[in-house]
Amino acid sequence: MVDRVGTTGTTWLGLTTACAQCHTHKFDPISHTDYFSLMALLNNADEPEWMISSADRDQRIAESKARAESLWQQVPQHWPAPGRPPGDQLAAGSSEPGQRASSDGRRMVSLAERFDAWLREEAAHAIDWRVVVPEAIESNLPHLVPQSDGSILGSGDITKSDVYTLTLPAAEQPVRAIRLEVLADASLPDWGPGLCYYEGRKGDFFLSEFEVSLPLKQSRVEIARATESFGGKAFAGKQAAGAAAAIDGVMSSGWSTNGRQGHAEAAVFELAEAIEPGQPIVVTLRFERHFACSLGKFRLSTTTASGAEARGMSLAEEVALLTTPAGRSADQRQLLFRRFLKTAPEVSDQIKEIERLEAVERQGLSTLVMRERPADNPRPTHRHHRGEFLSPEELVAPAVPAFLPQLPNDSAPDRLALARWLVSPDNPLTARVVVNRHWHALFGRGLVETVADFGYQGTPPSHPELLDWLAVSFMTPVEQGGLGWSLKALHRLIVTSDTYRQASELTAATAERDPDNVLLARGPRVRLEAEVIRDSLLKAAGLLSTKMYGPGVRPLQPAGVTEVAYGKPTWQASAGEDRHRRGIYTFRKRTAPFAFTTTFDGPSGEACIARRDISNSPLQALTLLNDPMFLEIARALGREVVAAAESDAGRIQELGRRLLSREFAAAETEALAEYLQVQRQRLATGELQADELMAREATAQSVNENLGEEAAWMLVARAVMNLDEAIVKR
């Protein structure tokens, strides 16, 4: 949050809001309370993963559901027909129609018999569970809300040690066992049943202890036995995490259904002695782990029956089983039949396919979003003494800094209001900061040099009227002749200006009067940013992929860069066009950043850097000369220029156009041609090996005249890629 308040100030307001975390800003009119009020605007959000919906996905889900339903209809046909009675062997292979009919008949009879036996067995064990809706629900922090089906849904913040205290109303009959159903829900991470989203497995929960007590008697109720329909593995995967681990008095062991995300399971806790009717029962659920792992959706029920065990039946299935065969509705019959089929090994292949299809709904591309919290569970924001997280003082209301125009009264003070306020026509600051940042990107220096600080400590604008004119044009809608907040239009406006198109050469006069080009008497001359260097060289070599969207990719980088990161991950460079996507798609490994970007001043992404410094180091030279990624580009470029022109002169100019956007002057051409001749000669005599330079296996196939020529041009291309001009905008 602290980071977000600072970043919001830097990015949108050009204000050093972060400065007021510990005390009122020393220079700008931002009070300590202003800082936390701005935080309150940003703080009231949950950050769930959001399944990205698309017509494709909707269609895939609908098709899967339809296919699953049709497979359900076909399952009985896959039931194996039992063999014939022994005396019937001789008739095998007969094509008499009666024989085939009897095969189908035997199949149906066998299926019906098995189903009946299953029904009798399960009905005999069916338990009359009564769903109990707690009359009081308390927790240390998670937000627990009762649902219409008697379940309770959790949301909001969770901690590494959560306690749910549920007071059940007095029962009318003795209670001999309590059942805890853990349920799936689309609102939970990976559909639940747990709220775990970080460090542990998504959607998991870890019930350390399940306790029952009687407040009237002020006594704990002993639990004799715990059973579960499914028990996962505990963290580190060594010990089974069954329900018995939730009644052993040890917090580091517990019950989890990890591996069954998106499915309902249950645990049954059988009490040592029945609880007599007429008194409230308190059930306490404790979740404790080195990661937050509380339960997201659950339902409690009790029974007076003895010997109850968890069997993985849903509430509806238990009810159907308890109904007399004659009294069961068609839906109940189908429910039980399908339940039976799921347990039958004879059709497990078909069931597996159905379950795969049913899971499609829970799969897809997701993204992290911020979602405003429900009105009944806002996250309070306090002012913190000296900015210390552990020293909260008074509550603060969400607001923008008091010295600026305020949020409108007619809407709730939330992130949407803040976003609208930022781009409101009454607020010129955002547009100024944005156009200045883009001016900086194009000229290497902002009109306000301190792009992140428009306050008293920042530098005053060199051209205040120009900055204002640009900001106002940027904000003005297109239909009124402005740019309508279009960055592309802003870029076009700037790069087609006379100022930008000036030559960048430094003359004695400009060097004397304006060495840093503050007054813009010449065009900009700045080194490109890391990502742009890579993109533009890829483009020159004809390798750049302009493919959009999707997960990050791994360009080539030297071996050993990631060996230091936790777990020593390997960096397997992407194949095909993914290897040459634009820099923005490069996978970011936090513990071992992409080496090339760091070498060329790319920040780590851990702090908001509005203005990168530009260094000029030997490591950069080594990277452009020897990094496998740039050697690959040089090889491609070598091949390209050989194919593009016939003459040496033509090829040299092709390189100039591709890498420097100009043709070489005579003196330059001469130096390049001389270098070319020497290398060509050395390749011909075998002093230099073309297949090694071109990274080809030395096979008969690769011995061709062109390879030597391509290698010679690869070397020329590599040299030109290392010219100052190749990585400088001028």
> Which 241-300 residues touch other proteins, going by CB under 8 A?
245, 250-253, 290
| Contacts for 134-139: CB closer than 8 Å, 24+ residues apart | 134/166, 134/167, 134/168, 134/169, 134/283, 134/300, 135/167, 135/168, 135/169, 135/280, 136/165, 136/166, 136/167, 137/164, 137/165, 137/166, 137/167, 138/164, 138/165, 138/166, 139/163, 139/164, 139/165
Near other proteins in 451-480, by CB under 8 A: 452-453, 455, 457
The distance of closest approach from Cβ of residue 304 to other proteins in the complex, given in angstroms and rounded to an integer, is: 34
Q: How far is the CB of 454 from other proteins (least distance, A)?
A: 11
Cα dihedral 24, 26, 28, 29 in deg (nearest 10): 40
Question: Among 121-129, 393-401, 476-484, 607-615, which window interacts with other proteins (CB under 8 A)?
Answer: 607-615
Under rule CB under 8 A, residue 376 binds other proteins: no
- Which residue, 319 or 526, has its beta carbon nearer to other proteins? 526
Restricted to residues 85-124, the positions that interact with other proteins (CB under 8 A) are none
- Does residue 269 contact residue 226 with C-beta atoms inside 8 Å? yes
- For residues 600 and 627, the answer to whether their CB atoms sit within 8 Å is no
Asked whether position 677 contacts other proteins by CB under 8 A, the answer is: no
> Which CB, 132 or 693, lies closer to other proteins?
693
Of the pair 25, 299, the CB lying nearest other proteins is at 25
Residues 6+ apart with CB under 8 A from 673: 648, 649, 652
Please give the residues from 569 up to 588 whose contact with other proteins meets the rule CB under 8 A. Answer: 569
Beta carbon of residue 413, minimum distance to other proteins (angstroms, whole number)? 24
11 is a site residue for other proteins (CB under 8 A): no
Among 147, 306, 366, 507, the residue binding other proteins under the rule CB under 8 A is: 507
3-state secondary structure of 283: strand
Q: How far is the CB of 582 from other proteins (least distance, A)?
A: 21
With residue 371 as reference, give the H or E element that holds it: strand 371-372
Contact with other proteins (CB under 8 A): which of 59, 486, 604, 702?
604
User: What is the Cα–Cα distance from 305 to 274, expressed in whole angstroms?
Assistant: 10
Classify the C-alpha dihedral 508-509-515-519 as positive or negative: negative
Binders of other proteins: how many residues, by CB under 8 A?
Answer: 106
Least Cβ distance, residue 616 to other proteins (angstroms): 4
State yes or no: residue 704 binds other proteins (CB under 8 A): no
| Rounded least distance, CB 559 to other proteins, Å | 7
The CA-based dihedral angle spanning residues 333, 338, 342, 343, taken in that order and rounded to the nearest 10 degrees: 20
What is d(CA 569, CA 11) in angstroms, rounded to the nearest whole number?
A: 34
Q: How far apart are CA 402 and CA 395, in angstroms?
A: 16
Q: How are strands ordered across the β-sheet holding 209-214?
A: 136-139, 161-168, 281-288, 209-214, 219-221
Among 74, 94, 411, 591, binds other proteins (CB under 8 A): 591
Question: Which residues ranging from 683 to 702 are in contact with other proteins (CB under 8 A)?
Answer: 687-693, 695
Shorter beta-carbon distance to other proteins: residue 47 or 58: 47
Buried b (16+ CB within 10 A) or exposed e, 244-254: bbbbeeeeebb
* Residue among 125 and 589 whose Cβ is closer to other proteins: 589
532 binds other proteins (CB under 8 A): no
Within 10 angstroms of residue 55's Cβ, the number of other Cβ atoms is 7
HSE at residue 121, side-chain half, CA atoms within 13 A, is: 8
The reply on whether position 598 binds other proteins by CB under 8 A is yes
DSSP per-residue letters across 443-491 = HSS-SSS-TT--STTSPPPSSHHHHHHHHHHHHS-GGGTS-TT-HHHHH
Decide if residue 730 touches other proteins (CB under 8 A).
Answer: yes
Find the shortest distance in angstroms from Cβ 613 to other proteins: 4
The site string for other proteins over 546-565 (x = CB under 8 A, - otherwise) reads ------------xxxx-xxx
Residue from 249, 375, 568, 647 binding other proteins (CB under 8 A) = 568
The nearest distance, CB 667 to other proteins, in angstroms, is 6
Q: How far is the CB of 530 from other proteins (least distance, A)?
A: 9
* 3-class state of residue 383 by DSSP: strand
Contact status: 661 vs other proteins (CB under 8 A):
no
- Contact present, 263 and 90 (Cβ < 8 Å): no
Residue 244 in 3-state DSSP?
Answer: helix
Shortest reach from residue 455's CB to other proteins, in Å: 7
CB 320 within 8 A of CB 335: yes
How long is the chain? 730
Which of 28, 190, 211, 531: binder of other proteins (CB under 8 A)? 28
CA distance 299 to 180: 6
Q: Cα(399)–Cα(295) distance, rounded to whole angstroms?
A: 34
Neighbours of 419 (CB within 10 A): 12
- Judged by CB under 8 A, the chain residues 622 through 641 that form the site for other proteins are 622-623, 625-627, 631
Instruction: Tell me the closest approach of the beta carbon of residue 270 to other proteins, in angstroms.
Output: 23
Q: Which of 352, 371, 492, 612 binds other proteins (CB under 8 A)?
A: 612
In the complex, what is the shortest distance from the CB of residue 126 to other proteins, in angstroms, rounded to a whole number? 34
Q: Is 238 in the site for other proteins (CB under 8 A)?
A: yes
Q: Is the Cβ of residue 53 or residue 615 nearer to other proteins in the bound state?
A: 615
> What is the nearest approach in angstroms of other proteins to the Cβ of residue 283?
23
| 239 binding other proteins? (CB under 8 A) | yes
Q: Which two tokens stand for residue 484?
A: 């309508």
- Interaction between residue 436 and other proteins (CB under 8 A): no
Q: Spell out, one character per residue from 185 to 204, where the chain touches other proteins: x when CB under 8 A holds, - when not.
A: --------------------
Q: Which of 88, 222, 355, 505 touches other proteins by CB under 8 A?
A: 505
Instruction: Choose, by CB under 8 A, the member of 376, 426, 606, 705 that binds other proteins.
Output: 606
The residues, ordered by sequence, that sit 6+ positions from 105 with a Cβ below 8 Å of its Cβ are none
Q: Which of 678, 684, 702, 704 binds other proteins (CB under 8 A)?
A: 678
CB of 719 to other proteins, least distance (A): 5
Q: Which is nearer to other proteins, 370 or 608 (CB)?
A: 608
For other proteins, the closer CB: 63 or 563: 563
Among 551, 607, 697, 705, binds other proteins (CB under 8 A): 607
Of 224, 511, 684, 703, the residue at the interface with other proteins (CB under 8 A) is 511
Least distance between other proteins and beta carbon 516 (Å): 7
Q: Shortest distance, CB of residue 425 to other proteins, whole angstroms?
A: 27
CB 216 within 8 A of CB 279: yes
CA distance 396 to 20: 15
Min dist CB 655 to other proteins, Å, is: 12
**Contact pick of 91, 619, 684, 703 for other proteins (by CB under 8 A):** 619
Please answer whether residues 554 and 572 qualify as being in contact, where contact means their C-beta atoms are separated by less than 8 angstroms. Answer: yes
Determine the Cα–Cα distance for residues 594 and 585; give it in Å rounded to an integer. 12
Find the helix packing angle between 628-644 and 705-721, rounded to 10°. 120
Q: How far is the CB of 560 from other proteins (least distance, A)?
A: 4
